[in-house]
Structures are given as C-alpha cells and as structure tokens.
Homo-oligomer: A and B are copies of this chain.
C-alpha cells in the first residue's frame, strides 16, 4: 500500500479513531458517524471526514462508516497489519515497568528483549523476559533484527546507545531519556518523558497563580 506522507497530528488522530472503533465494535456497533468519532476524539466531524478522506472514500453520506471496514483500513494505514519486535535498552524502573506492563503485545508490539550493563540487573526476569547484558545487543540484532528500540537508559548513556542501535540498522526509536537524540535523518525518534509533562504542568500552574 502506498499513501502519501501525512502529518504527525493526523496519525495521532487515526490511532485514536482506531481505538474508538474497537470499543464501538466490542459494544456491538456496526456503523459509526463522523459526528460520534469527532465527539470522542475532541475534534469536529469535518476534521474526521478530512482525516479519513486521505485514504479514499469509506463512508456513505447519511449511513456513516462501516465499523469493521474502517477499522481494518486504519490498521492497514497505521502499519498494524503485522507485528513489531521491540527491544528495550535499560532495565531500570521505567524499563522494567514497560516489560511488566504487558499491554503492548495486544496492540501488536512484542517486547522481545531487555538489556542493561549493570551486572546486578542482568539475569533478572519479568514477564518471562530475562535481562541480557547490553554487550549482547549487536550479536542479538544481527541474528534477529528488531523493528523498534525503546531507550530507557540514564540520559548520559542514551546517545551512545542510540548510535549503537542505528549501527545495527534500527530506524525507529522510542526515547524515554531526557535528551534530544542525534540520529541520521532516516531514523525516527519519538520521545516520552513524564517528568517533562509534569514540569509543563507545574509551569502552567505557577504562571496561573
């Protein structure tokens, strides 16, 4: 399937629509209107129709969208018609929480390995996944490539780890370290940082007073 590149904000909304469609399907709904998708997504029905029009015509005027058809199409667009192998680098509190969370498999993302350089952490096990020494990383990825790497190291180690991952051919990184990773243009990094989000809230709270 070939689609033209769409904006990051659109991709996020498509993910949300997919989540809602799954819920509607669980509740037995077979069709859904752009108005209902919009109200759940905090957007307008015009925005929903625009977002979905990128990928051809789905809905029938007045009849709404077919839930299973639209769901399949969105999964296809988001690349969720296959599974993804995810490695986690760093077995600290967040790394171990990711592995213990266990909710990613249901969404198509399989956490296949977790690494650390701390001998005290190597060998620990969560959800059946044993922490491996990070020196095994290159050999492991050469044997079986991963699609996505989550970088959950201390910030001072993150850049070097990212460079090792890029050398191994990893092109998609989920970064939890509070640094801006420098990667080649062909590599995509998404950053998640709860402390940054909390500090954005504390900033707003303090300027509001």
Interface residues of A (CB under 8 A from B): 1, 3, 5, 8, 11-12, 14-16, 18-20, 23, 40-43, 77-80, 82, 84, 86, 93-94, 97-98, 100-104, 107-109, 147-148, 155-156, 171-172, 174, 178-182, 188, 190, 192, 194-208
Contacts and interface: CB of A to CB of B under 8 A. Distances in A.
20 contacts: A3-B207, A12-B196, A16-B179, A16-B196, A23-B155, A40-B179, A41-B180, A78-B206, A79-B199, A84-B198, A84-B205, A86-B198, A93-B102, A94-B101, A107-B195, A148-B202, A171-B208, A174-B197, A174-B198, A174-B201
Contacts of A78: 199, 202-203, 206
Secondary structure dominating the interface of A: helix
Given A197-B190, A198-B84, A203 B101 contact: no
Counting chain B CB atoms within 10 Å of each CB, which of A5, A196, A201 scores highest?
Answer: A201
A199 B23 CA distance: 17
Given A78-B206, A206-B78, A8 B200 contact: yes
Given A15-B199, A180-B42, A97 B108 contact: no
Contacts of A93: 100-103
B195 A104 contact: yes
A188 B199 CA distance: 12
